[in-house]
Copies of this chain bind each other. A is one copy, B any other.
Amino acid sequence: MTDINSSKRGSSPSSPSLGGDRHRSAKAGGNPLFLRDEELRQAIELLFYAYRDFTGEPDIILAERDLGRAHHRVIYFVGRYPGMTVSHLLDILKITKQSLSRVLSQLMAEGYIRQDQGQEDRRQRLLTLTDKGAELERLLTETQRKRIARAYRNAGPEAVEGFRDVMLGIISGDADRARFENRGE
């Protein structure tokens, strides 16, 4: 594997204008929107970098088991909502049933997830993690939990509140936002 990270902290001495021009010129021009634009761009980039790193560690663990990020998402949410239906999962992930089907079939074939017929509505297939599935879920989520815990600890409780508020504002639907009500108190 090419060690592309090596170039990371060396910050390529060969790229002189790397990071200031656009902002300096806007600032120099006295553009009153400068701060706002810069602030918003930073948020965009925070989301990019944070998500990239947030998924990085689990991806490695998954790759060792020939699984991918899609499997992780399924395992995570089935662990979160034991006995959830396929529809519910589709709705959270916002992917097609064909895409989900492949991932889900693999997870059941490998013994990570179990399906039970619904009692009230026998068309439903209620999804639960097997012991093997729960173990992998813990392993994967642990890396993310640690990362978040570290960030929360360093930032402090007020920052955590602010983080939550902003993140909720970024989410589109009331339905999704509602998932976060009355749970932290």
User: A71-85, CB under 8 A of B: which get 1 and which 0?
Assistant: 001001001111111
A41 smallest CB distance to B (angstroms): 7
The contact string, 1 if C-beta is below 8 Å from chain B, for chain A 25-60, is: 000000000011111111111111111111010000
List residues 82-121 of chain A with CB under 8 A from any CB of chain B: 82-85, 87-88, 90-92, 94, 96-97, 118, 120-121
- A94 contacts B52, CB within 8 Å? yes
A145: contacting residue among B12, B44, B97, CB under 8 A: B44
A113-132 interface with B by 8 A CB criterion: 118, 120-121, 124, 126
Residue A63 interfacial (CB < 8 Å): no
Docked complex Cα distance between A158 and B4 (Å): 32
A62 CB to closest chain B CB, in angstroms?
Answer: 15
Closest CB in chain B relative to A46 CB, distance in Å: 4
Q: How many of these chains are in the complex? A: 2
Contacting residues, chain B, for A168 (C-beta < 8 A): 46, 151
> When the two chains form the complex, which single residue of B12, B156, B175 contacts A9, counting CB atoms closer than 8 Å?
B175
**Which residue of chain B is the closest to A123 with respect to CB atoms?**
B14
**Closest 6 A/B residue pairs (Cβ):** A162-B162, A151-B169, A159-B162, A163-B166, A155-B165, A46-B167
Question: Which positions in A face B, CB cutoff 8 Å?
Answer: 1-5, 7-9, 11-19, 21-23, 35-54, 56, 73, 76, 79-85, 87-88, 90-92, 94, 96-97, 118, 120-121, 124, 126, 141, 144-145, 147-152, 154-156, 158-176, 178-180, 183-184
